Amino acid sequence: MPTHNEHESHNKPGSVREGFEVTDVNTPGVVVFLIAMAVSVGVFFVFCYGMGKVINNALIKRDGPPNKWNQFNMPGAAPRNMESNPALQQQQLHALTQRFPTPRLQLDDGNQDVADLHAREDLLLEHYSWIDQSKGTVRIPIERAMQLIVERGLPVAPAAQPSEPLMTGDAKPVVPMPLTDGFARTAYEQQEQGPSREPGEQASTKANNH
């Protein structure tokens, strides 16, 4: 029973008679199609790559790095070996801390700030420095100042003017001698550098040694 198929070759009687297809595939057309498709894919890839670069550069200029924690992976960075995860986190945290606006929260309970303060105090208390070079005013170390006080004594204060008699229940204020010189290293400084002098050292004892 014959069937009607619109997709059957118009050369079917000849093909049936010969036992094979009597027409060849359109090879030039297939080749042209493949070349055109390859060129289209290449052009599309170049177009998408260029558009991506333009968009990324525009976003970086407007908003800065897309992720502050990945700033070391930005284009143009010098190639280097991959850091270990803890080291990389410390570097990224340090970079983020430097960029973060002040005032910042202290990460070590102020231990480093106190150590820096004591270092500046030690620089002033233990070395000679100018106060006013034009007037010849010099700051001397505190140890030398204590020696001079022991040798020369303190200047005599002028006699106080007679004051009105104290009222009932009042008493003349007396300033007691301090028990220490007020200097004590923190535990953080003792661990890092070791105390330069004993905490709670008697100020009067140090003065008597000179």
pLDDT (tens digit per residue) in 164-196: 777 777 777 777 766 656 566 777 777 777 545
pLDDT at 32: 94
By percentage, how much of the chain surpasses pLDDT 90? 20
Encoded tokens for 112: 């480093």
What's the rounded Cα separation, in Å, for the pair 182 and 149?
19
Query: Which residue did the predictor score with more confidence, 166 or 83?
Result: 166
Encoded tokens for 73: 């992976």
- Least Cα distance to 60 among 76, 74, 49, 50 occurs for 74
**Helix or strand or coil: residue 129?**
strand
Residue 64 reports pLDDT greater than 50: yes
Q: Which helix (H) or strand (E) holds 27?
A: helix 27-63
- CB neighbourhood size of 185 (10 A): 19
pLDDT at 62: 81
**Helix or strand or coil: residue 31?**
helix
C-alpha distances in Å from residue 185, one per residue of 111, 113, 118, 205: 11, 13, 8, 19
150-169 average pLDDT score: 78
Mean pLDDT of the chain: 75
45-63 average pLDDT score: 89
pLDDT at 194: 56
Whether the link from the prior residue into 176 is cis, omega within 30° of 0, is: no
Please, what sign has the CA dihedral across residues 129, 131, 132, 138?
negative
Q: Would you place residue 65 in the very low, low, confident or very high pLDDT band (cuts 50, 70, 90)?
A: low
Query: Which residue did the predictor score with more confidence, 89 or 50?
Result: 50
Query: Which residue did the predictor score with more confidence, 82 or 191?
Result: 191
- Least Cα distance to 71 among 50, 97, 53 occurs for 97
Residue 52 reports pLDDT greater than 60: yes
Query: Which residue did the predictor score with more confidence, 120 or 88?
Result: 120
| Residues whose CB is less than 8 angstroms from the CB of residue 170 and which lie 6 or more positions away in sequence, other chains included | none
